[in-house]
Structure 1
């Protein structure tokens, strides 16, 4: 993975909030837009992040403020400093390790999912009411996803069976109308195991990374989990919603399926157009599961 050095401006900004910083470790995700460092000054450590865009910077600042209101200090990091010109954020460390790659037993996975569900419910329960602008943005985003599904279908139709083509057409035709009736919350926006930290010493789960936090429909919060994990591990879905405190309604379940089908056919189109066999395989696999669920 490419290492990202700190710029002089960023070093000066860090020094103004953490004097004596002597250790910098690049902990960015393996994608071009990720810029995250762990910075230590002796025993004191912080995380420093450069947001990819101004929009994501603003979302993350609001997300940290929401986490402070909604979540206990040991389940979410706290924002120490932020600079809009650098798009830089400095946050406190949170105990634990990223759940995505942890070798957990099946029973431990269920406990983690239940705790994550409980944490997300606290996040949602403290949602500020959506404004008319928020609702308009949600409506536009859903319409865009429905249109994307239609576009993807034109490119991928020859690679799909009848059931898969049918579920993508359902995304195009059903999603906008169904979404109008869905509950709206202030979403975390990337509620995936890569953003859960499990602290084995305290047997607790924490939540990180708020750059996509914004108002949206509840079902959209679970798309990654449903496509990547829950469709083959229904016990994890059950555990998560046990912690969350309620099941999804039938209409929410339908919207979740359609949103996941939209994502999978998008993967497939990207894989075909970019010659990415990994995306092709991922798209085909998840779309086949969604078509099976739709039946």
Structure 2
């Protein structure tokens, strides 16, 4: 939605005036699924930028830290640059990438494979640029694994009659084995929301960019692959191959098993939510993923 810049919050307008004079219009660019975050695309003459109000001081710090990481790990064509940040306003101002969000694009099979290979390369460079691991990071990861194991157990109770024997066995494995399996896997700095809705494809330069760093944090490398593993790869093994060609290495045996169990938890969650809300997209996504995961696991 196109807005006059005067419609922005007054304190945000005053802050922007110090960093981007002459803002004429603003376009609401917030994700509908994230009502707690507010994002606008701003235009001042020929300059386009984005301003975001984070939902909390914690997410604001996490994202500003991630922009510094992105500047070190990726090029200007691959990640926006932080122009300014204000902790009091929980506001960040960043450059705009040229291109369009991949999730919205009708791509040919050839270009889609190219995009997924580039995505793998981006993620590998993001992961390989090390950041100091906070002392409590492992504790937080293990708490998440415990929670996901408990969720898998609850899904098993709720979905029992909707699952095949092989699918039930796999969900049971998540509930039983996930925390111990992941206890000694190394931690890396994650993007945290790595999916085509945060990939920007520039068809002119044939480059891919990465946006939205609000969920960046230290965790297991495979956690940046769960969405792809649950929503894309079950029906597009070709894109999985392209992605790992770009990533530059296959997963270790333990990483592969961790991704399998984490994706199973996500797929069971999709199916449970879809059945509860009569959402056929989630039902199909959950069933497709569980079916493929159980097939390849046996």
* TM-score normalized by the length of structure 2: 0.93
Partner residue, 2:226: 223
Deviation per CA, 1:130-189, whole angstroms, max 9, x where unpaired?
233111111111111111111222222232222221111011111111112323210111
Partner residue, 1:68: 71
For 2:136, what is the secondary structure of its paired residue? helix
Structure 2 CA distance for aligned equivalents of residues 277 and 112 of structure 1: 28
Measured after TM superposition, the shift of residue 2 of structure 1 is 12
Partner residue, 1:25: 27
Compare 72-81 and 51-60 and name the one that shifted more. Answer: 51-60
Q: Any unmatched runs of 5+ in structure 1? A: none
Equivalences for 1:208-247 in 2 at 5 Å?
Answer: 208-247=211-250
**8 Å contact 2:2–2:25 — kept in the other structure?**
no
Equivalences for 1:159-198 in 2 at 5 Å?
Answer: 159-198=162-201
2:15 equivalent to 1:10: no
Deviation per CA, 1:195-243, whole angstroms, max 9, x where unpaired?
1111111111111110110111111110111111122222211111111
**8 Å contact 2:119–2:246 — kept in the other structure?**
yes
Q: CA separation of 1:2/1:159 partners in 2, compared to 1, >3 Å: closer, same or farther?
A: farther
Q: CA separation of 1:123/1:49 partners in 2, compared to 1, >3 Å: closer, same or farther?
A: same
- RMSD (Å), alpha carbons: 2.0
Q: Any unmatched runs of 5+ in structure 2? A: none
For 2:208, what is the secondary structure of its paired residue? strand
Compare 173-182 and 265-274 and name the one that shifted more. Answer: 265-274
Compare 238-247 and 151-160 and name the one that shifted more. Answer: 151-160
Measured after TM superposition, the shift of residue 267 of structure 1 is 2.0
Compare 183-192 and 276-285 and name the one that shifted more. Answer: 276-285
For 1:209, what is the secondary structure of its paired residue? coil
* TM-score normalized by the length of structure 1: 0.93
For 2:174, what is the secondary structure of its paired residue? helix
2:59 equivalent to 1:53: no
For 1:75, what is the secondary structure of its paired residue? coil
Equivalences for 1:92-111 in 2 at 5 Å?
Answer: 92-111=95-114
Measured after TM superposition, the shift of residue 275 of structure 1 is 4.5
Compare 25-34 and 135-144 and name the one that shifted more. Answer: 25-34
For 1:81, what is the secondary structure of its paired residue? strand
Deviation per CA, 1:14-48, whole angstroms, max 9, x where unpaired?
22221111111112222223421111111122101
Over 4 Å off, 4+ runs: 1-5
